[in-house]
Amino acid sequence: MALLEITQVSKSFDGTPIIEDTSITVNPGDTIALTSPSGSGKSTMLAMAGLLLKPDSGSICTEDGTDALGLPDKEASKLRQNLIGFVFQSTQLVGSLRAIENVTAPASFAKEKLPFDVQKRACDLLERFGLADRMYHYPHQLSVGQKRRVAVARAMLLSPKVLIADEPTNDLDIESAEEVENALFEYAEKGNALLYATHIPSLAARAKTTMTLQGKTFKVKR
């Protein structure tokens, strides 16, 4: 069963169509890249796929057949928390929280007891990203690459089945970009899925499926 079945979603802002009739099937182990020029709708598409933005039309269903768009806000929020990890282009770290506190932040919204030690998992993730000596630093004390790695660790904390990443290696140096890329793809190899946007050809080429914007619709690149 597909983790996410996105069917003919469309979105307009102030009467201007941004995305039209786009369908994406996200299966376990999938790596899917969205490519298009900057400002053309990749972030909008990811926000809809990540249940952060409701499309004007279309449907998004989960593997158990749940219509995610038909859920009340609280239930939709719980579904999003359990299913999806989001890596924002601007990282969106909380400036008043240390690195490890940013990583553990998603756990504070969990309504049920988590089946793992949150602090230990956060430490393990930060160590995996080479940030063992930066755990107690605030965002302003971290480089761009370090902040991006903290953001990826945060997205992975609750072991979501789908990782969604918006330009995850944009503005990173080669070494940091490679580390982030590898971590994302290794996560998908464990039976999860990765849906990401990029304008970097080498990163797009790593995906099993590449979708490009044709008109206002993302379609599989042949």
CATH of the domain at 18: 3.40.50.300
For the cut 90, the answer to whether the pLDDT of residue 163 exceeds it is: yes
Q: What percent of the chain has pLDDT over 70?
A: 99
Give the mean model confidence (pLDDT) for residues 182-206.
Answer: 94
pLDDT at 222: 65
Length of the chain: 222
Q: How confident is the model at residue 64 (pLDDT cuts 50, 70, 90)?
A: confident
Give the C-alpha distances (Å, rounded to integers) separating 79 from 116, 182, 196.
Answer: 19, 27, 20
What pLDDT does 110 receive?
72
- Give the least confident one: 36-40, 76-80, 88-92, 173-177: 36-40
Q: What is the pLDDT of residue 86?
A: 94
For the chain, the C-alpha Rg in angstroms (whole number) is 17
Tell me the average pLDDT across 10-28: 95
- Whether the pLDDT of residue 111 is over 80: the answer is no
Does 135 score more than 80 pLDDT? yes
Q: Cα separation of 129 and 212, whole Å?
A: 30
Provide the mean pLDDT of the chain. 92
Res. 36 pLDDT band, cuts 50 70 90: confident
What is the pTM for the complete model shown?
A: 0.92
The Cβ of residue 136 has, within 10 Å, a number of other Cβ atoms equal to 10
Q: Which amino acid is at 200?
A: I
Q: Which helix (H) or strand (E) holds 7?
A: strand 4-13
Assigned token pair, 100: 């490890």
Q: Is the pLDDT of residue 81 over 70?
A: yes
Number of structural domains the chain divides into:
1
Check residue 117 and give its pLDDT.
87
Residues spanned by the domain of 109: 4-220
pLDDT of 164: 97
Instruction: State mean pLDDT over 77-103.
Output: 92
